[in-house]
Structure 1
Amino acid sequence: MDRMLFLAMTGAKHVAWQQATTAHNLANVNTNGYKADQVAFRALPVVGEGTPTRTYVVDNTVGHDLSQGSLQQTGNPTDFALASAGFFAVQAPGGQEAYTRDGGFVVDANGLMRTRSGLPILGDGGPITVPANSAIEIGQDGTVIATPQTGQDRVPQIAGQIKLVNPGAREVYKGEDGLFRLSAGGAAPADPNVRLVGGALEASNVNAVDSLVQMIAHGRQFDLNMKLMQTADQNEQRATQILSMNG
């Protein structure tokens, strides 16, 4: 009885964790550049004398879905998206290099290019700074071209090049802040094969319909485990009554 109760309790707990992950994905269905978290169950052997062949099933985060989200044409010159696999580099709040696909930029009062969440956009030499009062154009290779809009000299000039990387899905992990980092630490090398497209944003790759179906399935699995717990409790009560009657 105790074993059945424990198995049902463990199952309910891990299904609830899966439900939380699915709910988090669904909450980010409209977040630009968001990559869905993926979870799965895996079997773990029970360590202990007398039960060497038994296994329990636990929840396990297996990674993230890095498939391309749909590109939405905005026509806004401050929007950009990645048209291939990979990321562009930003400076995380702690100062280290991190990666994202959430394109689009603003220029702060100091001329620093930042994402709309406020993170500095990195080139090979560090954060990219553009001259004041300049129109910004970004090439497919990440080259940032600044054209002054005031003064006599309005010749376009290269202000920098956004660092584009493609370390591979197994080489990165996603932090709680939504940014990707190298699993081994350090910084990824630039990859000339990663391409940008201007005037567009990449939508989340979360499929809302699939996520809703998963939530329903998780809810049913949770209910099933709760019923097993109730059954185990009822069986234990009946067994106790029978033992009491038999003295």
Structure 2
Amino acid sequence: MDRALYLAMSGGKQVMNAQTIHANNLANVSTTGFRADFEQARSMQVNGEHYPSRVYAMTENPGTNFESGALQHTEREMDVAIQGNGFIAAMDGMGQEVYTRRGDLQLTTAGQLVTATGLPVMGNAGPIFLPPLDELSIAEDGTISIIPEGGDGTQITALNRLKLVSADPEDLTKGPDGLIRTKDEQPLAMDNNVKVLSGFLEGSNVNAVEEMTNIMELSRRFEMNIKVMNTVRENEDASARILQSS
């Protein structure tokens, strides 16, 4: 009976872990550029000093869904969406280069171009800083042009260029912060084939209906594991009564 109890207990725990993954996906259904996580379960043997006669279920995150989300037209000059595959390079708090599809860029009071979460956006030679300006535009290849503050409106100057990169999804991993990194922790080179669309944002690629369906199915699995545990307890109680009566 302990085998059935252990299997049901470990199964219930892993179902809760799977629900966490799908709940996080669902919570980010409206997050710009979000990439949904996959989830799968498999059986694992319990190894030890004795013969491995126990197995348990293990939930794991085998990867991330890198399919593109729907484009949203914003007409905002600092909103950009990646066309096809590719990423915008940024820098995290540890100074490591990271990658994102979130293109709702901002300009700080110091003139630094950052992501919506405050991460410095990378350019040709590091983080991008811009002088005071009246107007800004971002070309298809990521080139940033401005009209300087106080100009006559005709002095358009190209100052920098977004670092746009691409890589095989097999070489990438998504961290708990939702940012993409290379598995070998080496920065990617700029890819001139990656293009952006100014005035648009890419939405999340989460399918809300699919995530809700998965959560409901996992809830039923959890209830099934609880029923198995209750059945094991009832069987143990019945066995104890038989032994007492004999």
Q: Distance in 2 between matches of 1:159 and 1:23?
A: 42
Q: Distance in 1 between matches of 2:101 and 2:153?
A: 34
Which residue is equivalent to 1:145?
145
Kindly indicate whether the alpha-carbon contact (under 8 Å) linking 2:71 and 2:200 is maintained by their aligned counterparts in 1: yes
Kindly indicate whether the alpha-carbon contact (under 8 Å) linking 1:26 and 1:211 is maintained by their aligned counterparts in 2: yes
TM-score w.r.t. the length of structure 2 is 0.95
Q: 1:68, CA displacement in angstroms?
A: 0.2
Letter in 2 for 1:243: L
Kindly indicate whether the alpha-carbon contact (under 8 Å) linking 1:148 and 1:154 is maintained by their aligned counterparts in 2: no
Q: Distance in 2 between matches of 1:134 and 1:88?
A: 24
1:61-100, aligned counterparts within 5 Å?
61-100=61-100
Q: 1:149, CA displacement in angstroms?
A: 4.3
Q: Distance in 2 between matches of 1:102 and 1:225?
A: 39
Say how many residue pairs are matched: 245
Q: 1:159, CA displacement in angstroms?
A: 1.4
Q: Distance in 2 between matches of 1:140 and 1:215?
A: 40
1:1-247, aligned counterparts within 5 Å?
1-48=1-48, 49-51=50-52, 55-151=55-151, 154-246=154-246
User: 5+ residue gaps in structure 1?
Assistant: none
User: 5+ residue gaps in structure 2?
Assistant: none
SS at match of 2:63: strand
Kindly indicate whether the alpha-carbon contact (under 8 Å) linking 2:12 and 2:226 is maintained by their aligned counterparts in 1: yes
User: Runs of at least 4 residues of structure 1 off by over 4 A?
Assistant: none
Q: Distance in 2 between matches of 1:78 and 1:191?
A: 21
TM-score w.r.t. the length of structure 1 is 0.94
Question: CA offsets per residue over residues 74-126 of structure 1, 9 Å max, x none?
Answer: 11112111111121101111111111001021211221111121111101300
Give aligned-pair identity as a percent.
37
Q: 1:154, CA displacement in angstroms?
A: 4.4
SS at match of 1:9: helix
Question: CA offsets per residue over residues 161-220 of structure 1, 9 Å max, x none?
Answer: 111111221111111211111111121111112110000000000011011101110000
Q: 1:43, CA displacement in angstroms?
A: 2.5
Kindly indicate whether the alpha-carbon contact (under 8 Å) linking 1:97 and 1:187 is maintained by their aligned counterparts in 2: yes
Q: 1:153, CA displacement in angstroms?
A: 8.3
SS at match of 1:177: coil
Deviates further, 198-207 or 72-81: 72-81
Q: Distance in 2 between matches of 1:242 and 1:159?
A: 86
Q: Distance in 2 between matches of 1:103 and 1:10?
A: 41
